[in-house]
Structure 1
Amino acid sequence: MNVAYWIAAGLLALFYLYGGGMKMVRSRQQLRPMMAWVESTPMPVVRAIGVIEVLGAIGLILPPLTGIAPWVALAASTGFVVLQIGATGVHLSRADRQIALNITLMLTAAVTIWLATTWL
C-alpha cells in the first residue's frame, strides 16, 4: 500500500503544484485559454485557489516523508476531493460538460485518502 500511496500522492502533488503555481503567478489573460472560469472569477480568488493547491500538494508529500504529523496528508487528500466537487459544480454551472479531469482528480484523491488511512 505504501508504494501505491506514493504513486497516487506523487501524481496529485505534481498536478497541483503545476496548476496551483500557474494560478499564483500568471495573469488572467495567460490563464484564460486553459481555464475559462477565471474570466468570471476575481483574481484574488484565483490566487487563493492556487495557494491552497500548492499547500495541499506539499501536505500530501512532506508530512508522510518526514513522519511529522502524517495526518496532514489525509487532510490534504480530503481537501482535494472537496476542491474537485466544487470545481465540477463550477464547470456544470457554466454549461461546461468537460469534467473528466475533475472526476479523475477526485477519484485519485479519494484513493489517496483510503491509502493514507492504512498507515495512520
Structure 2
Amino acid sequence: MNLALWIAAGVLAFVALTGGITKTFVPKEKLARLHGGGWTGDARAGFVRTLGVLELAAAVGFLVAPVLAAVTAGCWILLMVGAAVTHGRRGEGGLVVLNLAYLALAAFVLAGRVA
C-alpha cells in the first residue's frame, strides 16, 4: 500500500511540476492558444503565474514527507474542483474528466496518508 501511495504521489507531483512550469514561465498569451489553456485568456497574468508557483510547491509537497503529502493532496483536491468547474463552464468535458481523475488520485493519497 505504501508503494502505491508513493507512486500516486509521484504521478501527481509530475502533473503539478509540468503545470507549474508551464503556468509560471510560459507567457499567458501563448498558454491561451494551447489545448486546455483557453481559460488563461480570461485570467490575469499574475493569477496564472500564482497558480503555477502553487503547483510547483505542490510538486515538492507530494514528495517530501507523508504528512506533507496528505496536506498537499487535500489542497490539490480543492484545486481540481476549481479546475473542473472552470473547464466545465467552458464546455471542455474531456478536461473535466482528467481533473476528476487527478482529484480521485489525490483523494487516494489523502486517505492513505491520513489512515
Same topology, TM > 0.5: yes
Aligned equivalent of 1:102, options 91, 99, 104: 99
SS at match of 1:46: helix
- Sequence identity percentage: 30
Q: Which runs of 5+ in 1 are unaligned?
A: 65-69
Preserved contact between residue 4 and residue 115 of structure 1 (Cα < 8 Å): no
Q: Give the alignment of 1:52-67 within 5 angstroms.
A: 52-62=54-64, 64=65
Q: Give the alignment of 1:40-59 within 5 angstroms.
A: 40-59=42-61
Could you list the per-position Cα deviations for residues 2-45 of structure 1 after superposition, in whole angstroms to 9, with x for gaps in the alignment? 10111000000011101111100001232121311000010100
Partners of 1:2 and 1:79 in 2: CA distance: 21
Shift of the alpha carbon at 1:77?
0.2
Could you list the runs of 4 or more consecutive aligned residues of structure 1 that deviate by over 4 angstroms after TM superposition? none
Partners of 1:79 and 1:56 in 2: CA distance: 9
When normalised by structure 2's length, the TM-score is 0.91
Shift of the alpha carbon at 1:91?
1.2
Partners of 2:101 and 2:92 in 1: CA distance: 16
Partners of 1:12 and 1:27 in 2: CA distance: 24
Q: Which runs of 5+ in 2 are unaligned?
A: none
Could you list the per-position Cα deviations for residues 67-102 of structure 1 after superposition, in whole angstroms to 9, with x for gaps in the alignment? xxx422111000000000011111122233231111
Please identify which structure carries the higher helix content.
2
When normalised by structure 1's length, the TM-score is 0.87
Aligned-residue CA RMSD in angstroms? 1.2
The alignment of Structure 1 onto Structure 2 pairs a total of residues equal to 112
